[in-house]
Structure 1
Amino acid sequence: MTWIVNWLIKPFTMYGIACLFFFVLFRAFIPVELATEYLAGAVLLGAAPCTAMVFVWSSLTQGNPVYTVVQVATNDIIILFAFGPIVKFLLGVSNVAVPFNTIEAALATTVGVLTEVTVMLMLVRIANDYVNAHYGVTLQYEQMQCGFTDFNEQCIKERCPFHE
């Protein structure tokens, strides 16, 4: 269901709502050129599901973490293949000129940076395990702790890895 909403309903709904507001309801207040730029921004936002907050909401609602990871991972994989064509289609329908290689470059940069950071973190952990196993030296670091427990009525306390 999440995939259907994220990829078949949301981008097109965002496009429709943006067109309604920018070109119909606020046409007297927003010049056509600016409305077209706003539409392009709405299409870019509407076509990209926000997967980062899914972890936070799942944790706050005591959701199933395995299901959450599967949903986020599959949506992130779908982003690689669906984001560019959907954006290109919606912007093409709007006569907004955005070179497809610009969209591909932005997507490749994002994926590259995220992959690089993940690999670097994995390598640090592997290096730490190796040095610990062969030389008895471990990487010392402070455990992060949340200082907002007293201010948050919905804090999950001991179930949170950052609880003091």
Structure 2
Amino acid sequence: MSAKASSKAAVDGGGAVAGKLAFLDRWLAVWILAAMAAGLGLGRAVPGLGDALAKVTVTGVSLPIALGLLVMMYPVLAKVRYDRLESVTRDRRLLLPSLLLNWVLGPAVMFALAWLFLPDLPEYRTGLIIVGLARCIAMVIIWNDLACGNREAAAVLVALNSVFQVFAFAALGWFYLSVLPGWLGLEQAALEVSVWEIARSVLIFLGIPLAAGFATRRLGEKARGRDWYEAKLIPRIGPFALYGLLFTIVVLFALQGEAITSKPLDVVRIALPLLVYFALMWAGSMALGRAVGLDYPKATTLAFTAAGNNFELAIAVAIATFGATSGQALAGVVGPLIEVPVLIGLVYVALASRRFFPGAGDGPRSSSSVDADAASTPPDKDSVRV
């Protein structure tokens, strides 16, 4: 095939991908940007709204945000085929790179970028390092599902991140904020956070929706069968993941609307290393997945689980340790401000990159397609929707 023909095929393939997305997914970037704008507007227009939203908290996170996260995660976890998880846990080509990317390279890359871009702003620098330590256990499920990643693999990797987070977060915080800067002759603030604080956050934001999703599938399939469950029930509850996501974004940005809009230059300086971080981690992980022989769904899952961060934990730790009005907390809030639009953009990049993976085809396939039959059957629109 000529270079011109290849280019045309690539364009046509990208159009086919976009055309097969459900309406809500196709315009998701618009909904997210609108939610961000609405949150910022509310935070500025309604005096005391942020204080009112922050009065009741769950593990240091505003109760409305906590509810939004639970609603967001439940439908996606209800889609997981739990009887297929064993096939994922045996895949060392997926698990070992994921552990390396999340718990060795990810924190190290964020540490380096924070010092490179913010050498004169220690509060923001500390906040970014905390964001890098908090590996994603929530929104990554949304991005993975939209990009037609492997849903079962995402569930396993998120569970692994959760377990490692409980035991590794405090130790890594001590290393990157106290030990390593001392070795390098740099000054940095210490981070004091208990293992129980992290475990409690993981149990709430992952454990509750995971248990609810598992129970829904188990009881639904037992009562009406798998065909009814996936053809009837899932399309009904699926859109609530997007509603929960948008609600969470509105509340999150309403909480910090004044801080974000009153310090635009600071936000820009915090945003630059975050942009570099997301690009490096996602592109590097996607390339690594392709290099070790992963198919498109698993490589996509590897990339999004490595690039995403647990901003709710990072914000909670920053607020609990340094205060709600601290620079560390602001850096944590800027994290999702940059992460949300960047990663939704990478969803479209991922879908367009399918043609570089053997046997991927031109259009999106279900993220739970790990067997040949599922891979050969094109999904309907609801199977792509969150």
Which TM-score band (shorter chain)? 0.5 to 0.7
Query: Deviation at 1:121?
Result: 4.1
Question: For residues 39 and 161 of structure 1, what CA distance do their matches in structure 2 show?
Answer: 37
User: What amino acid maps onto 1:83 in structure 2?
Assistant: F
> Structure 2 vs 1, CA of residues 108 and 51 (structure 1 numbering), >3 Å: closer, same or farther?
closer
**What is the TM-score of this pair, normalised by structure 2?**
0.29
Larger Rg: 1
Give per-residue Cα distances to partners, 1:96-126, cap 9 Å, x unaligned: 1333xx343531331343367348848x96x
Deviation at 1:42, TM superposition (A): 0.9
Q: Which runs of 5+ in 1 are unaligned?
A: 28-34, 133-142
Secondary structure at 2:188 match in 1 = coil
Give the count of matched residue pairs: 131
Quote the residue 1:7 is aligned against: 103
Q: Measure the CA separation in 2 of the matches of 1:71 and 1:7.
A: 12
Equivalence for 2:139: 53
Displacement of 1:145: 6.5
CA shift, 1:3, in A, is 1.3
Residue 90 (str. 1) matches residue 186 (str. 2): no
1:67 aligns with 2:153: yes
Determine helix, strand or coil for the equivalent of 1:52.
Answer: coil
CA distance in 1, matches of 2:137, 2:163: 11
Deviation at 1:44, TM superposition (A): 0.8
1:21/1:103 CA distance change after superposition, 3 Å: farther
- 1:17 matched residue in structure 2: 113
2:157 and 2:177 mapped to 1: Cα distance?
27
Answer whether contact 2:162 2:202 (CA < 8 A) is retained. no
Which structure is higher in helix share? 2
1:1-150 to 2 correspondences below 5 Å: 1-23=97-119, 27=120, 35-92=121-178, 93=181, 94-99=187-192, 102-114=193-205, 117-118=208-209, 121=212, 143-144=236-237, 146=239
Q: Please report how far the alpha carbon of residue 73 of structure 1 lies from its aligned counterpart in structure 2 after TM superposition.
A: 1.3
| Partner AA of 2:382 in structure 1 | E
* Partner residue, 1:159: 383
Partner of residue 313, structure 2: none
1:139 aligns to what?
none
Same amino acid, percent of matched pairs: 25
Q: Which amino acid aligns with 2:202?
A: V
Residue 161 of structure 1 and its aligned partner are, at CA, apart by 6.6
Q: 1:145 to 1:57 in 2, by over 3 A?
A: closer
Tell me the amino acid that sits aligned with residue 8 of structure 1.
Answer: V
1:72 partner letter: V
The AA in structure 2 aligned to 1:54 is V
Q: Structure 1 pair 15/115, CA: closer, same or farther in 2 (3 Å)? A: closer
The one-letter amino acid of 2:147's match is T
Q: TM-score, normalised by structure 1?
A: 0.62
CA RMSD of aligned residues (A): 3.5
Q: Which has the higher contact order (CA 8 A, sep 6+)?
A: 2
- Aligned letter for 2:198? L
Indicate if the aligned counterparts of 2:133 and 2:173 stay in contact, CA closer than 8 A.
yes
Aligned partner of 2:151: which letter?
P
Aligned equivalents of 1:58 and 1:7: distance in 2?
A: 19
